[in-house]
C-alpha cells in the first residue's frame, strides 16, 4: 500500500508542477531564480533522458510500462522490513508514471528545472527516479551480506 501512496504523491507533485509551468509560461521561456545557477525553463522533451530516442513515444511508453511492472513485482518480493529498498522502488514508480502520463497525453514530457551547470532540463518525476535509484542501490549494498569465503 505504501508503494501506491508514495508513487501517487510523486505523480501528483509532478503533474501539478508541470501544469503550473505549461499553463503560465511560453515554451522556451526561462525565469532565473538564482543567477547563473537555477532557472525555471519551460521545454518539452520528445525523448527519454538527455533527449535520447526522440519521437519514439510508443517505444518509450511500452518500455516504461514493462519496467514499472517489474519494479512493482520487485516491491512485492522485497520483505517489508527493507524500508529503504521499498522507498527507492516507490519513488521510481512514481517518477516513471509521472513521465508516462505526459508521453501518453502530449507525446512529450514537460521539463522545467534548469540547473545552469547541468546540461539537460528536467522535472520532478526525473528527480524521483534518480533519488529512487540512488536509495535502492545504497540500501541494496548496505543490506546485502558479503560472502564469508570466496569460492575460488
For 65-94, how does the pLDDT look when each residue is reduced to its tens digit (9 = 90+)? 999 999 999 999 998 889 999 999 999 999
Residue 135 placed within a domain: yes
Q: In the chain, which stretches have pLDDT less than 70?
A: 144-152
Total domains in the chain come to 1
Closest CA to 68 of 100, 38, 110, 41: 100
126 is catalytic: yes
Residue 152 placed within a domain: no
Parent domain of 104? 2-139
By the 8 A CB rule, do 39 and 33 touch?
A: yes
For the chain, the 3-state helix, strand and coil shares in percent, each to the nearest 5, are 60, 15, 25
Which one of 14, 102, 111, 114 is the catalytic residue? 111
Instruction: Tell me how far apart the alpha carbons of residues 89 and 97 are, in angstroms, rounded to a whole number.
Output: 12
Which one of 14, 102, 114, 126 is the catalytic residue? 126
pLDDT of residue 146: 46
Amino acid at each position: 500500500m505504501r508503494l501506491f501512496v508514495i508513487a501517487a504523491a510523486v505523480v501528483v507533485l509532478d503533474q501539478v508542477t508541470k501544469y503550473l509551468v505549461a499553463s503560465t509560461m511560453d515554451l522556451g521561456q526561462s525565469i532565473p531564480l538564482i543567477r547563473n545557477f537555477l532557472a525555471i525553463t519551460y521545454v518539452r522533451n520528445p525523448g527519454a533522458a538527455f533527449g535520447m530516442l526522440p519521437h519514439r513515444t510508443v517505444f518509450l511508453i511500452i518500455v516504461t510500462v514493462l519496467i514499472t511492472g517489474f519494479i512493482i513485482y520487485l516491491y512485492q518480493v522485497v520483505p517489508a522490513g527493507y524500508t529503504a529498498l521499498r522507498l527507492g522502488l516507490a519513488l521510481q514508480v512514481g517518477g516513471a508514471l509521472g513521465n508516462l502520463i505526459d508521453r501518453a497525453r502530449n507525446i512529450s514530457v514537460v521539463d522545467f528545472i534548469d540547473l545552469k551547470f547541468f546540461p539537460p532540463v528536467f522535472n520532478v518525476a526525473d528527480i524521483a527516479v534518480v533519488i529512487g535509484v540512488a536509495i535502492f542501490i545504497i540500501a541494496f549494498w548496505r543490506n546485502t551480506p558479503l560472502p564469508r569465503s570466496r569460492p575460488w
